[in-house]
Amino acid sequence: MVTDEKVYSAALVRYRLGIVLIWLGVLTWLPFIVLRIAGEKPSLFLYLPVHLLGVIGGSRLRSAARKEMDLLPAKKSLLQILGHGMIFLGILTWAPYFYLKLATTQPVDVMNYLPYHLTGVLGGIILLVINFLIFKRTA
């Protein structure tokens, strides 16, 4: 017999699995960075699919689990809106890179775009953490 407690427990497991997938997707870049520091030129296209599968798959899994547990997000604060906006702009940084690389077949260096991507994503995450800490302090 399936009870509400078992459904909630399964959703909680999926939520935690989503967090693990996100971290694995982010940490995929550690070997890439180490190889770049060592002077090697590893292919971006070996690491990118694993990164995207982890981050996008994990976030979708978390989102579905939150809905299943009826943990819909509360009203968004200004810091949350700005944080998500910065993350979105950091991801959008790759649009010109892929346009130049795939549509015009020009040689493009990843390192010209990576600082903007990391600034947007990490800056947005910092804003979300600040918002979380403020919320925890007031709650």
Rg (CA), the chain: 18
Instruction: Give the torsion through C-alpha atoms of 33, 39, 44, 46, to 10 deg.
Output: -90
Token digits for 52?
């995207």
Residue whose token pair is 């709650």: 139
pLDDT in tens, 108-135: 888 899 899 999 999 999 999 999 899 8
pLDDT in tens, 59-101: 999 989 988 888 876 678 999 999 999 999 999 999 999 899 8
